[in-house]
Structure 1
Amino acid sequence: MELNFLEIVKAINGEVLVDSKNNNFNSLCIDTRKIEKDNIFLAINGENFNGNSYVKEAFEKGASIVIIDEILFDIEELEDKGTIIKVNNTSVALLSLANYYRKKLGIKVVGVTGSTGKTSTKDLIASFLSDKYKVFKTKGNFNNQIGLPLMILELDSSYDVAVLEMGMSDLGEIHTLAETAIPDIAVITNIGLSHIENLKTRENILKAKMEIIDFFNEDNELILNGEDSNLKNINSKCFKITKTGYNHEYEVYGTNIILKEEETEFEAHLNGKHHKFTLPMAGKHNVLNAMLAISVANKLGVTFESMEKGIANLEATSMRLQLIKKDKFIIINDCYNASPDSMKSSLDVLNTYKSGRRIAILGTMNELGHEAFNAHKEVGEYASDKVDKLVVIGDYKDSFKEGFNGEEIEIYTTKEEFISNVQTLVKENDILLVKASRGMKFEDIVNSIKQISI
């Protein structure tokens, strides 16, 4: 972090309870298991744990400064161990510190949100920009009110652009993230059913995603997937909006799409110019994600030719349509998360394989509330002509089954039950898609399949 001690105290409105006078620090950590020498330890006070209880341990592991919001230790016992700063709320302090640091660095920030496709779009934006700029992007799923500020605090002045993913589960959360990150450009991928359990309606989901523009002015730009019916008609007189899609009614659009097993070809159109791209990613949905990324890159002055060079730097987040080629079969690991839209997109990718059995191993999609039964049924129906065998696991196995009109289906109550039978399922030349919501931890299934020998 390119901050000094006094800036940190000011940014978090902190009270210095103990000043060791040797306030050297390098980075901030919230997990004592990962503390390194001269880290700042910020004690998050969460629902299931209280970081304030681990201050002594943090000092013992090498922290030079701790930030707390509750005193659960003897100050005199620790006053020779390091500096102690007290704030009203450490979670709020983390957001305030990140906001202060973002303003100080002054780099361009691209915020990405949406019900599905956030991570893939983030990865594509970062790659399309990478030939011209040094780009930082959100790691993994660090996209909430703890993860996003931690990502900002990993930045330094050597970066030109930060591409930050913004997730949410309820109203007000993206407002807080936008207030912290202050995006110059915002991207919304789509409005699906994810989190409808909390938000009840798509209108509320749209309202929550649109919080990303709460701090916009005439200098900002919002980039939208115009193919999404909830985003298509959004307009503003206060800032610029660019919409992307599959035809010439949009400012940026893709045509001549060719879907292959491991890549996707398309022609991008922008400002009267066009360029053929080949993405090392499968699925038509990634063309829409790429159109959003191309719009961001164009806004930041990147040419088509430079974007193409940047594709070579694409680093896709793991467990997102990750192809695992074994000697005699293929696994498509898509365990990162799941929603009705992303399930269908993944089934489309599986359907591009024309040799070998196409087997989809699907589990529960979480946070769908009253839409859960119909959503799982709809995915089962969609899979009917996309797979040779459907395997369904979990609470909504019967919903999948009711929608499925294909010939072969296997039903399991738990993933452990399936894993105990997995050896009998896989045959030579099979292509196996594995997908469910993050909480189902279907990577356990992927790992079990990887151990099979035929």
Structure 2
Amino acid sequence: MDLTLNEVLKAVDGELIVRNNDGNFEKISTDTRKIEESSLFIALKGNNFNGNNYAVKAIKIGATVAIIDEINFKIEELNNEGTIIKVNDTKTALGALAKYYREKLGIKVVGITGSTGKTSTKDLVAAFLSGKYSVFKTKGNFNNEIGLPLMIFELNSSYDIAVLEMGTSNFNEIHRLANIARPDMGIITNIGVSHIEYLKTRENILKEKLSITDFFEKDNVLIINCENDMLQKVEKNTDFKVEKTGYDKKYDLYAENIELTDESTSFDAVNSNGSSYRFKLNMVGEHNIQNALLGIRIAENFGLTFEEMELGLKNLEATSMRLEFIKKDNCTIINDCYNASPDSMKSALNVLETYSGNRKIAILGDMGELGDFSKLAHKNVGRDAIGKVDMLLTLGEFKKDYQSGFGDNTFVFESKDELQKYLKKTIKNGDVILVKASRSAKFEDIVKYIESL
């Protein structure tokens, strides 16, 4: 990496307590299980681990530098190897070093936040921009105060633009992420009820998401999806640019002539100049039109033509387990196990409803971090499934709340094993089966079981 030891010391406000080498390193790691030769190891602490206890091990297996906030070893244990920097807090140091490195690289950054749709939007933004630029995008769900810095450390001067996802579960997290990443442009996909257990109200969630603009100046741009009721209330201001997307012709970019099929989504994108272009996404669901409009508007701000965006779409790489269609001889599985919220459940059920097949079966598990809203949210999803689903199979803490919303043809199970045994004798030719729950439920196990039948 293009960082010197002196730059690291300056960035993290650290004290050099041991120096046994020149301090050069090629990568940054927070996990000794994945450490590589010539790495800088940052010793993070959690509820059940303390990375400071592994500083000596990190040096012995290849790290040249370690940043710690506790000295839990004797200097002689290093055997005259490695360089050790002490800081007040290693998590803070991780973010500070990432911020310094991002500023040194000087590449453009697009930050994406929202209650749902962040990852799909990230995939689309990166694809559109790739029609003209070299683009990096967040891998998986590395979107928190540890994951975001680690993504920044994967950047180098070969990239023109970084598309970085920013997640939150509590107050001020987006502010801290924005301080690290300093996005040139921001996107808010929507405001739902994800993490309402901690943020309490949708108004608080909106305020938290808007923190992505905390370091914006007049030339910075925020792009919002105004098909969301809360984002419709965001007004344009003089501090930075606000651009709106959706279906209304008054927006900066809008979609019309929408066509939804089992395998694709097509629409005309029309900008404020009256220019239009028909896009076809190999993604299903109307929600992806809203995600795509955000990406198209970002690309317009970077000077891409519609034709260049179309070229970039050929590079679209969607994150796995998000509306992934698995076609078997006897049935089709819609694997949407990456995460779940009331909004994403509704979108997935809409896709299931419009997909061609015989019986429509939904296998739904718990949605997390909804707090006091949990029981009602699960009941409402059950209600929303009425008319879209022939059979509802539920598992988890709130399985009976789904049942109270959906009513007849709800089948409640106590375990995955019990549910899978039922599936084995129930699945018929032509069934379309949606599998969805929060990530912690690991419903991909159910997907794999259906695939094996």
TM norm structure 1: 0.97
Q: 1:345-356 alignment to 2 at 5 Å?
A: 345-356=347-358
Deviations 1:230-276, CA, capped at 9 Å, x for gaps: 11121222111001001202110111111111210111111211110
The verdict on how the C-alpha distance between 1:71 and 1:416 changes in structure 2, with shifts beyond 3 A counting, is farther
Which residue does 1:285 correspond to in 2?
287
User: What is the Cα deviation at residue 426 of structure 1?
Assistant: 2.0
In structure 1, C-alpha distance between the alignment counterparts of 2:424 and 2:16, rounded to whole Å: 60
- Partners in 1 of 2:22 and 2:422 — Cα distance? 60
1:435 aligned onto 2:436: yes
Local SS of the residue matching 1:154: coil
**Partner of residue 148, structure 2:** 148
Q: 2:359 aligns with which of 347, 357, 360?
A: 357
Counterpart residue type for residue 71 of structure 1: I
Alignment correspondent of 2:309: 307
Look up the match of 1:215. Answer: 215
- Contact 2:102-2:152 within 8 A present in 1 as well: yes
Where does structure 2 lack aligned partners over 5 or more consecutive residues? none
SS at match of 1:323: strand
Please give the secondary structure, in 2, of the residue aligned with 1:109. Answer: strand
Q: Verify the 8 A CA contact 2:25 2:65 in the aligned structure 1.
A: yes
Tell whether the 8 Å contact from 2:131 to 2:311 is kept in structure 1 after alignment: yes
Asked if the contact 1:128–1:311 (Cα under 8 Å) also holds between the matched residues in 2, the reply is: yes
SS at match of 1:268: strand
> Does the Cα contact within 8 Å between 1:422 and 1:448 map onto a contact in 2?
no
Query: 1 CA distance for matches of 2:211 and 2:122?
Result: 18
Q: Could you tell me how far apart the structure 1 residues matched to 2:358 and 2:4 are?
A: 60
Distance 2:172 2:79 in 1: 39
Local SS of the residue matching 2:231: coil
SS at 2:339 equivalent:
coil
CA distance in 2, matches of 1:229, 1:23: 52
Does 2:267 match 1:266?
yes
Question: What is the CA–CA distance in structure 2 between the aligned matches of 1:251 and 1:65, rounded to whole Å?
Answer: 49
What residue is the counterpart of 1:21 in the other structure?
21
- Asked if 2 retains the 8 angstrom alpha-carbon contact of 1:360 and 1:434, the reply is yes
For residues 312-331 of structure 1, the aligned pairs below 5 Å read 312-331=314-333
- Note if contact 2:381-2:402 (Cα within 8 Å) is conserved in structure 1: yes
Unpaired runs of 5+ residues, structure 1, are none
Equivalences, count: 451
* Distance in structure 2 (CA, Å) of the matches to 1:399 and 1:372: 9
| Larger mean Cα displacement after TM superposition, 77-86 or 279-288 | 77-86
Paired residue secondary structure (2:218)? coil
Task: Report the equivalent of 2:300.
Answer: 298
- What's 2:123 paired with? 123
Amino acid at match of 1:367: E
1:21-170, aligned counterparts within 5 Å? 21-170=21-170
Partner of 1:181: 181
The whole-number CA distance in structure 1 between the counterparts of 2:98 and 2:426 is 49
Deviations 1:6-26 (A, max 9, x none): 111211111111112232311
Structure 2 counterpart of 1:255, one-letter code: E
CA distance in 2, matches of 1:37, 1:426: 51
1:329 touches 1:431 (CA, 8 Å); kept in 2? yes
Amino acid in the other structure paired with 1:170: N
**Separation in 2, partners of 1:93, 1:127:** 32
Distance 1:89 1:232 in 2: 40
- Distance in 2 between the 1:354 and 1:280 partners? 16
Alpha-carbon distance between aligned partners in 1 of 2:86 and 2:421, rounded to the nearest angstrom? 52
**Given that residues 18 and 79 in structure 1 are in contact (C-alpha distance below 8 angstroms), is that contact kept between their aligned partners in structure 2?**
no
Matched, 1:239 2:240: yes
Once superposed, which parts of structure 1, at least 4 consecutive aligned residues long, lie more than 6 Å away? none
CA RMSD of aligned residues (A): 1.1
> What's the secondary structure of 1:298's corresponding residue?
helix
Which digits, 9 at most, give the CA deviation of each residue in 1:107-166, with x for residues without a partner?
110000000000000110000000100000000000000000110111001100000000
**Overall identity of the aligned pairs, in %:** 57
